[in-house]
């Protein structure tokens, strides 16, 4: 229940609602983190996640939010004096720059206006001109709804000495990922977005090309985050330090659910629901904020019409319906609203999202023609022919 006794509905682009089945799994007993029982859980989880990330790598787990594993990726790849080229088109690209500078390393940026994608053809040129240890990108920019073309970015980086480091915190589990085929060297994600778990588990998957740098590290500053130790532990079905057991039970359950639905079906559901929500909201006369040709399937970002404050919409959702959606905590504050379309959501969720948005808009004085939004949403929900 919310503070004013409405049934609580979590529709953020993360953390996302945790389904009952996963909440039950979180309650499994804590066992020894270096015992055979837990090693079995780790082994199953490790196998189930590979197709979701599109990798044959053993995935390493850390107790942290997403930002922790973003920092881990940087700390393992860059040594003092090394420079990274960061693709920045939103809040999380900015965060990578802050992490790199916070570690006393150097970041150059290739930027695009928020909502657009960074021009991939500029990457190859930048790599020729500068001496970069890494190219750093955000797969799904949750602040704007823009998806990066990782396949194209990977081709631009693949034949250079640079490593491609990618944050897919809000992509993995809801967007296609082919880490190995696309040439992503270090991929990090976290539990609380499309993977439907509570926050607190960070994951990292590392290519052979990146291991060469990490193993022969020339002075990288790291301890808890040291991927070398994490890799040795992962091979034994362990984490280097005490595992967040409930979250790993939860992740195993989440992955079992995804495989039971069928991974391609999970992806298709994310695409269908996000497209339908956008169609419905656009029919109300609102614009999709995202200008990138690759629109996110895991978060929908809408621009507010003149005179409508996004923060007031967010407040109305919470106070009137008990629904929690996101505005913006960045320079887009008040200008956009963001609704998560990832995790365990259904047709019914986005129908409610649209209905409640109509209510909020008319309350704030934006006149909406009745039924038009729903008709567009329902049409988009129909399977193609
Ligand atoms: C949520 C998110 C993160 C991580 O945030 P934490 O609060 O540290 O878990 C990182 N990158 C993106 C793109 C995100 O959406």
List the pLDDT tens digit at each of the 385 positions of the chain: 888 888 999 999 999 999 999 999 999 999 999 999 999 999 999 999 999 999 999 999 999 999 999 999 999 999 999 999 999 999 999 999 999 999 999 999 999 999 999 999 999 999 999 999 999 999 999 999 999 999 999 999 999 999 999 999 999 999 999 999 999 999 999 999 999 999 999 999 999 999 999 998 878 899 999 999 999 999 999 999 999 999 999 999 999 999 999 999 999 999 999 999 999 999 999 999 999 899 999 999 999 999 999 999 999 999 999 999 999 988 999 999 999 999 999 999 999 999 999 999 999 999 888 899 999 999 999 976 5
Nearest protein Cα to ligand 1, atom 11: 169
SS3 call for 56: coil
Longest dimension (CA), the chain: 64
- Mutating to test ligand 1, I would choose from 69, 142, 171 the residue with most ligand atoms within 8 A of its C-beta, which is 142
Q: Full-prediction pTM beyond 0.85?
A: yes
Give SS3 for 136: strand
Q: How far does the centroid of ligand 1 lie from the alpha carbon of residue 202, in Å?
A: 10
Supply 328's token pair. Answer: 């913006």
d(CA 345, CA 367): 28
Relative to beta strand 9-10, strand 323-324 is parallel
Q: What is the pLDDT of residue 5?
A: 87
pLDDT in tens, 106-143: 999 999 999 999 999 999 999 999 999 999 999 999 99
Q: Which two tokens stand for residue 32?
A: 């020894």
Say how many Å lie between the CA of residue 93 and the centre of ligand 1.
Answer: 11
Residue-wise pLDDT tens digits, 30-59: 999 999 999 999 999 999 999 999 999 999
Residue owning the nearest CA to atom 5 of ligand 1: 66
Q: How high is the pLDDT of residue 13?
A: 98
- Compute the residue count for the chain: 385
Ligand 1 pocket mutation, candidates 63, 71, 89, 92, criterion most atoms within 8 A of CB: 92
- Output the pLDDT for position 230: 97
Q: What is the DSSP letter of 317?
A: I
Q: What's the 67 CA to ligand 1 centre distance in angstroms? A: 6
Q: How far is the CA of 98 from the centre of ligand 1 (A)?
A: 14
Copy the structure tokens of residue 269: 């559901």
The answer to whether the 9-16+262-381 and 20-259 domains have the same CATH topology is no
Question: What is the Å distance from ligand 1's center to 66 Cα?
Answer: 5
* Ligand 1 probe mutation, 114, 190, 193, most atoms within 8 A of CB: 190
Q: CA-CA distance, 189 to 170, in Å (whole number)?
A: 7
Per-residue tokens: 22: 């996963």
Q: Indicate which atom in ligand 1 lies nearest the CA of residue 202.
A: 9
Residues with CB under 6 Å of ligand 1 are 14, 65-67, 92, 138, 140, 142, 167, 169-170, 190, 199
At 258, list the tokens: 């995804």
- The full 3-state SS of 102-134, as one line of letters, equals HCCCEEEEEECCCCCCCCCHHHHHHHHHCCCCE
Task: Tell me, in angstroms, the distance from the centre of ligand 1 to residue 376's CA.
Answer: 31
Burial 245-270 (b: 16+ CB within 10 A, else e): bbbbbbbbbbbbbbeeeebeebbebb
Mutation test residue for ligand 1: of 68, 170, 298, the one with most atoms within 8 Å of CB:
170
- Any alpha helices (H) in the chain, and if so which ranges? 20-25, 36-53, 66-77, 91-102, 121-129, 150-158, 179-182, 208-215, 227-235, 245-261, 263-283, 310-316, 347-363, 372-381
The pLDDT assigned to 1 comes to 85
Give the residue, by CA position, lying nearest to ligand 1 atom 2: 169
C-alpha 23, offset from chain centre: 21
- Rounded to whole angstroms, the Cα distance separating 233 from 218 reads 22
Q: Can you name the CATH fold of 9-16+262-381?
A: 3.90.1150
**20-259, what's its fold?**
3.40.640
Torsion from C-alpha of 181, 183, 185, 191, nearest 10 degrees: -50
Say which residue the tokens 């740098």 belong to: 213
Atom of ligand 1 nearest to the CA of 138: 13
Sign of CA dihedral 96, 99, 102, 103: negative
Which residues have CB under 8 Å from 203's CB, separation 6+? 49, 59, 60, 61, 62, 69, 172, 188, 189, 190, 191
Q: How close is the Cα of 164 to the center of ligand 1, in Å?
A: 18
The domain limits of the chain are 9-16+262-381, 20-259
**Cβ(223)–Cβ(84) below 8 Å:** no
Residue 301 to residue 144: CA distance in whole angstroms? 6
172-175-181 Cα angle (round to 5) = 80
Helices (H) and strands (E) in the chain, counts: 14, 14
What's the CA-to-centroid distance between 336 and ligand 1, angstroms? 18
- Closest residue by CA, ligand 1 atom 3: 66
């Amino acid at each position: 229940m919310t503070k004013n006794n409405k049934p609580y509905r979590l529709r953020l682009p993360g953390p996302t609602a945790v389904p009952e089945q996963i909440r039950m799994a979180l309650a499994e007993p804590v066992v020894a983190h270096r015992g055979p029982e837990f090693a079995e859980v780790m082994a199953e989880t490790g196998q189930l996640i590979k197709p979701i990330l599109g990798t044959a790598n053993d995935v390493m787990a850390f107790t942290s939010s997403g930002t922790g594993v973003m920092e881990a990726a940087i700390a393992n790849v860059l040594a003092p004096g090394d420079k990274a080229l960061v693709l920045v088109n939103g809040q999380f690209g900015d965060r990578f720059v802050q992490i790199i500078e916070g570690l006393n390393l150097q970041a150059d940026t290739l930027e695009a206006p928020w909502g657009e994608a960074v021009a991939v053809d500029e990457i190859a040129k930048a790599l020729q001109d500068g001496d970069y240890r890494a190219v750093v990108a955000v797969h799904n920019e949750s602040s704007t709804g823009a998806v990066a073309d990782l396949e194209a970015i990977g081709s631009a980086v693949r034949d250079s000495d640079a490593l491609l480091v990618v944050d897919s915190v809000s992509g993995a589990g809801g967007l296609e990922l082919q880490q190995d085929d696309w040439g992503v060297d270090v991929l990090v994600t976290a539990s609380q977005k499309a993977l439907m778990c509570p926050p607190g588990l960070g994951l990292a998957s590392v290519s052979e090309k990146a291991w060469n740098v990490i193993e022969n590290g020339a002075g990288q500053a790291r301890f808890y985050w040291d991927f070398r130790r994490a890799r040795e532990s992962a091979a034994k079905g362990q984490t280097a330090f005490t595992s967040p057991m409930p979250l790993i039970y939860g992740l195993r359950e989440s992955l079992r659910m995804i495989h039971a639905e069928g991974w391609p079906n999970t992806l298709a559901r994310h695409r269908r629901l996000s497209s339908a929500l956008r169609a419905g909201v656009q029919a109300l006369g609102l614009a999709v904020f995202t200008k990138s040709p690759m629109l996110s399937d895991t978060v929908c970002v809408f621009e507010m019409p003149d005179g409508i404050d996004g923060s007031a919409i967010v407040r109305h959702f919470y106070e009137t319906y008990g629904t929690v959606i996101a505005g913006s905590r960045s320079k887009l504050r008040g200008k956009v609203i963001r609704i998560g379309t990832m995790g365990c959501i259904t047709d019914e969720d986005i129908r409610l999202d649209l209905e409640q948005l109509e209510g909020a808009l008319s309350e704030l004085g934006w006149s909406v023609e009745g039924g038009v939004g729903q008709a567009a949403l329902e049409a988009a929900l129909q399977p193609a022919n």
